[in-house]
Chains A and B, each alone.
Chain A
Amino acid sequence: MPDRNDGPSEPQDVMDERVAAVYERSGEFQGPGDSILHSSAARDVLAATYDEDYEVSLEPLSQWQLAWRRFRKHRMAVVGSIMVGIMVFIAIFGPIIWPYDPLDLTRITHPGGDPPSLQNIFGTDYLGRSVWELVVNGARLSVAFGLVTMVIATTVGLAVGVAAGFYGGWVDSLLMRLVDLMLAIPFLFIILVAAAFFGGGDPLLLMVIFGLLSWPTLARLTRALYLSLREQEYVDAARAVGVSNRRLAFRHILPNALGPIIVSATLIVANAIILEAFVSFLNFGIRNTDISWGTALSASQGQLILGNWWWAFFPGMAIAFMVIGINFMGDGLRDAFDPRAHD
Chain B
Amino acid sequence: MKGSSVPEERPQDLLVVEDLRTYFEVMDGTVRAVDGVNFSLPRGKSIGIVGESGSGKSVTALTVMRLLDMPPARIPTGSIRLEGRDLLALSEDEMRGVRGGEIAMVFQEPMTSLNPVFTIGYQISEAIIEHLHVSRDEANERAIAALAQVGMSSPEQRVKQYPHELSGGMRQRAMIAMGLSCEPKMLIADEPTTALDVTVQAQILDLIRASQADLGMALMLITHDLGVVAEMVDHVAVMYGGRVVEAGPVEQIFTSPKHPYTLGLLDSMPTRAHRGERLSVIKGSVPNPFNMPVGCNFAPRCPRRFEPCREHDPELRPSEDGSVTEVACWLYAEPPADAGVTASGVRTSDDPGRAEP
Contact = CB atoms under 8 A, between A and B. Distances in A.
B99 A239 contact: yes
B122 to A, nearest CB: 10
B227 A35 contact: yes
Given A53-B167, A240-B65, A62 B162 contact: yes
Interface string A234-262: 10111111111000000010011000000
A60 B121 CA distance: 12
B113 A62 contact: no
Interface stretch (B104-112, B310-318, B320-328): B104-112
A52 B109 CA distance: 21
B193 to A, nearest CB: 10
B153 A234 contact: no
B126 A243 contact: yes
B233 to A, nearest CB: 14
A60 B130 contact: no
A228 interface: no
A242 B107 contact: no
Interface in A39-54: 43, 46-47, 50, 52-53
Contact of A237 (B113, B117, B154, B206): B113
Interface in A307-342: none
Contact of A37 (B71, B101, B114, B202): B202
B115 A238 contact: yes
B318 to A, nearest CB: 31
A239 B105 CA distance: 10
A181 B67 CA distance: 35
Nearest to B103: A240
A132 B65 CA distance: 68
A255 B117 contact: yes
B226 to A, nearest CB: 11
Contacts of B198: 36-37
Contacts of B91: none
Nearest to B69: A168
A195 B167 CA distance: 61
Given A36-B198, A240-B107, A241-B178, A234 B114 contact: yes
B242 interface: no
B165 interface: yes
Contact of B206 (A43, A55, A238): A43
A233 interface: yes
B199 A50 contact: yes
A37 B227 contact: yes
B259 to A, nearest CB: 25
Interface string B63-101: 001010001000000000000000000000000111111
A56 interface: yes
B107 A30 contact: no
Contacts of A199: none
Interface in A43-95: 43, 46-47, 50, 52-53, 55-56, 60-63
A31 interface: yes
Contacts of A256: 115-117
Nearest to B114: A234
A238 B99 CA distance: 10
B112 A242 contact: no
B96 A244 contact: yes
B202 A30 contact: no
Contact of B272 (A30, A52, A62, A236): A30
B109 A233 contact: yes
B179 interface: yes
B112 A232 contact: yes
A53 B227 CA distance: 27
A33 interface: yes
A6 interface: no
Contacts of A52: 153
A240 B203 CA distance: 23
A105 to B, nearest CB: 57
A79 B113 CA distance: 38
A50 to B, nearest CB: 7
Contacts of B101: 242
A239 B67 contact: yes
Nearest to A240: B105
B93 to A, nearest CB: 8
Interface string B153-182: 110010011100111001000010011000
A30 B273 CA distance: 11
B350 interface: no
Interface string B114-155: 111111000100110011000000000000000000000110
A242 B131 contact: yes
Interface of B: 65, 67, 71, 96-101, 104-105, 107, 109, 112-119, 123, 126-127, 130-131, 153-154, 157, 160-162, 165-167, 170, 175, 178-179, 198-199, 201-203, 205-206, 227-228, 231, 272, 275
Given A37-B227, A56-B165, A63-B116, 8 more contacts: A33-B275, A38-B227, A63-B117, A237-B113, A237-B178, A240-B65, A241-B126, A256-B116
22 contacts: A35-B227, A36-B198, A37-B201, A37-B227, A43-B202, A52-B153, A53-B166, A60-B160, A60-B162, A62-B119, A63-B116, A169-B71, A236-B107, A237-B113, A237-B114, A238-B115, A239-B67, A240-B99, A241-B130, A241-B179, A243-B130, A255-B117
